[in-house]
Structure formats: structure tokens, C-alpha cells
Amino acid sequence: MLEPFFVKRNFIGEQGIEMRNIGVFCGANVGINLMYSESAARLGELMAEQGIKLVYGGGNVGLMGVIADAVLAAGGTGIGVIPQSLVDREVAHRGLQELVVVETMHERKAIMAARSDAFIAMPGGFGTFDEICEIITWNQLGIIKKPVAFYNINGYWDKFFEMIDHTVAEGFVKGDQRENLIVESDAEVLLDRIRAYADSTSDYWIDFKRI
């Protein structure tokens, strides 16, 4: 039952929202720069220290495995959501407190969206792009209202945001939707900015003046 996914959340907290669970999207590879793994581990440690549960793709490989291992090593909680097809390939993390096995990638994303109070995109490939862009779209359509942040390790997301800025300049994305996205290279500051998040987007994603 995924009903909570479709309900707009009323976030509470001293600064902005109360974060219990953060959905993290990231690569099944570690990349060529050691900085990616080191930064992923740092984020995992901070999440555990701050009592934030990790909701992620359930893998034991790549940056997925790195952040999950870091959360667990620091005494935190890891919740994995993984398709049966990947379990069959023996890439599921067996040390998690909870491993949710689903049939499809669509179900995986819906469950992660339902169980997360906010989202972080770390470096990754096509799967990471797909996951975070779908969450951004759900926010845009008002299906959910949850913070979306990019952990910009080693400037990984710089080119991505150049493309987003281009879509704004060309009139396909509204400026407030761009400004609503959090981009930060420091893990501690990233979590602080998510906690202080306040949605500033308008109710409409279409510029009716152009119709």
C-alpha cells in the first residue's frame, strides 16, 4: 500500500523539517576518484550520528555499498529496496536491518519515495539520473513536497546543473523550480540545508502566459 506517497507531507522541525529517513540515489560503481567513496562514507557516518535512517537501492556494490556500510558501521539503520532480479545476481546487501524485495524498478522507486522524508543524489549513472529526475518531477507536479539535494562531490553535478540552467533560460523549467534544488559539496552542510528546507515553488509548473 503506497498511499502515503501521494499525500503532501507537513514537515515539522526547529528549522524546517524533521528528517527520519533520507532516500539516497547513487551509483553501483565507485568511480575513478577515491573522493567519491570517502565522501559517501562521510555522509553515511553523519546520517547515523544524527539518527537519520538510510533508504536506498539495497545494493552491496559501488557507492551504494559504501554508504550502507558506513551507516551500519556507525550504528545507524539501513533500509534497502531492491528488485528480485538484482537479488538473483547476488548484489543485495545482507547486513541491513531491513531489505524490501520488489518485482519491478517502478515499485522500487515508489516505495523509496513513500518511505523517505528527503532525497539526496550522489554521483551515479543512468539509474541515478532516472531516480532523482523522477522525484524532481513528482515535486514539480505536486504529488509530493519533499527536499531534493545533490551531493556535489568533486563537482560531479556541475554539468547537470548547466543543463538545468539551460532549460530555465529556454523557458522549459521555471526558475523557482531550479532554485528549490539543494546543491552542496560538504556533507554536514548538505544535511543542514535539507533540514532548513522551505518549499518556494509556485503551484503551477506551466507558464500560462505563453499559452
Q: What does the pLDDT profile of the chain (211 residues) look like in tens digits?
A: 444 444 334 333 334 567 899 999 999 999 999 999 999 999 999 999 999 999 999 999 999 999 999 999 999 999 999 999 999 998 999 999 999 999 999 999 999 999 999 999 999 999 999 999 999 999 999 899 999 999 999 999 999 999 999 999 999 999 999 999 999 999 999 999 999 998 876 655 555 455 4
Give the Å distances, CA to CA, from 44 to 24, 32, 70, 73, 97. 10, 20, 5, 9, 15
SS3 assignment for the chain? CCHHHHCCCCCCCCCCCCCCEEEEECCCCCCCCHHHHHHHHHHHHHHHHCCCEEEECCECCHHHHHHHHHHHHCCCCEEEEEEHHHHHCCCECCCCCEEEEECCHHHHHHHHHHHCCEEEECCCCHHHHHHHHHHHHHHHHCCCCCCEEEECHHHCCHHHHHHHHHHHHCCCCCHHHHHCCEEECCHHHHHHHHHCCCCCCCCCCCCHHHC
CA 147 – CA 137 distance, rounded (Å): 12
Q: What is the pLDDT of residue 69?
A: 98
Q: What is the pLDDT of residue 37?
A: 98
Do the beta carbons of residue 200 and residue 176 sit within 8 Å?
yes
> Above pLDDT 70, what percent of the chain?
86
Q: What is the pLDDT of residue 17?
A: 66
CA 173 – CA 151 distance, rounded (Å): 22
Q: What is the pLDDT of residue 3?
A: 44
* Domain edges within the chain: 18-195
CA 199 – CA 132 distance, rounded (Å): 17
Note the pTM of the prediction, 2 decimals: 0.89
User: What single-letter amino acid sits at 76?
Assistant: G
Do the beta carbons of residue 68 and residue 60 sit within 8 Å?
yes
- φ, ψ for residue 166 (rounded to 5)? -65, -40
CATH class, 18-195 region:
alpha beta
